[in-house]
Amino acid sequence: MKKVLIILACGLLISCGNSAENQSEAETVPETKSDSVKSPDIASIEKDLKEKGYQTFSYKSGDTTYLMQQYFMVFLKSGATRSQDSTEAAELQKKHMEHLSWLSEEGYTSLTGPMGDDGDLRGIVVFNTATQKEADSLANLDPMVKAGRLKVEVHPWWVAKGGKLQ
């Protein structure tokens, strides 16, 4: 029994040591501003993105170098076919939400949300794809779009890599 306790204690100490090691490694990673990426990382991140077909550019402002990436903002608008009965509309909404979840899980989208009013513009999806054609194709796979209840409008949009909403 003593041997088991000693082995467990050693395991605990080792795992705590690794945890502290990981924590100190994490603390030595340079912090980045929420709207920028530190210069030493810019070249490798930009190179990787360009190799994958993404459009990017970087610029320096003061001590900060910003890496800009082209995203695609998709406006979901009311489509011409909105005459589905409530059961069909509810089923389309369920499939629409499943599609949006899939896009997010696969890393195709960065932001998604409905509008807060009842106008023609129903929602916005920001796609993180290499091309506008890919964003358009993925948006048009939405069951609501296929049924004509929604239509898509796609626009290129430039954002600083690592930026966030505040």
d(CA 81, CA 49): 39
Strands 64-78 and 150-160, sheet pairing: antiparallel
Domain of 147, in residue numbers: 69-160
Residues 156, 97 within the same domain: yes
**46 inside domain:** no
Q: How many residues does this entry show for the chain?
A: 166
Residues 17, 81 within the same domain: no
CATH code of 136's domain: 3.30.70.1060
Per-residue pLDDT band at 133 (split at 50, 70, 90): very high
Residues 79, 151 within the same domain: yes
Residues 25, 74 within the same domain: no
Q: Rounded to the nearest 5°, which phi and psi values hold at 85?
A: -70, 170
Which secondary-structure segment (H or E) carries 109? strand 109-114
**61 inside domain:** no
**91 inside domain:** yes
- pTM for the full predicted model: 0.72
pLDDT in tens, 90-124: 999 999 999 999 999 999 999 999 999 999 999 99
pLDDT of residue 67: 94
pLDDT of residue 103: 98
Q: Rounded to the nearest 5°, which phi and psi values hold at 123?
A: -175, 170
pLDDT in tens, 33-83: 444 444 458 889 999 999 999 999 998 999 988 999 999 999 999 999 988
d(CA 34, CA 31): 9
Residues 8, 74 within the same domain: no
Residues 20, 82 within the same domain: no
